[in-house]
Copies of this chain bind each other. A is one copy, B any other.
Amino acid sequence: MDLHILDHRLRVTSISKTGLEQYTHPLIKLIFLRNRTRCKFFSLTETPENYTVVLDEEGFKELQPSEHLQVEGSTWLPLNVVSNGNASSSSQSVGVTKIAKSVIAPLAEQHVSVFMLSTYQTDFILVREKDLSVVVESLVEEFNIFREEGGESVPVHSQDACNGLQRNVPHATVHPVLIPENQFCVMSLDPDTLPAIATILIDVLFYSNRYETCCCKLLGDLWRSLFAVISHSLSPFSDECGIVAQISQPLADSDISAYYISTFSFDHALVNKIESSVFLRCFST
Binding site for B on A (CB under 8 A): 20-22, 24-25, 28-29, 32-33, 36, 194-196, 198-200, 202-203, 206-207
Contact = CB atoms under 8 A, between A and B. Distances in A.
Contacts of A202: 28, 32-33, 198
A237 to B, nearest CB: 29
Nearest to A33: B203
A2 to B, nearest CB: 36
A128 to B, nearest CB: 32
B29 A207 contact: yes
A20 B22 CA distance: 11
B206 A32 contact: no
Q: Which of A33, A36, A196 has the most CB of B within 10 A?
A: A33
Contacts of A36: 203, 207
B33 A207 contact: yes
17 contacts: A20-B25, A22-B22, A24-B24, A24-B25, A25-B25, A25-B206, A28-B28, A29-B206, A29-B207, A33-B202, A33-B203, A36-B203, A194-B199, A195-B196, A195-B198, A195-B199, A198-B198
Given A24-B28, A25-B25, 18 more contacts: A20-B25, A22-B22, A24-B24, A28-B28, A28-B206, A29-B206, A29-B207, A32-B199, A32-B202, A33-B202, A33-B207, A36-B203, A194-B199, A195-B196, A195-B199, A195-B200, A196-B196, A198-B199
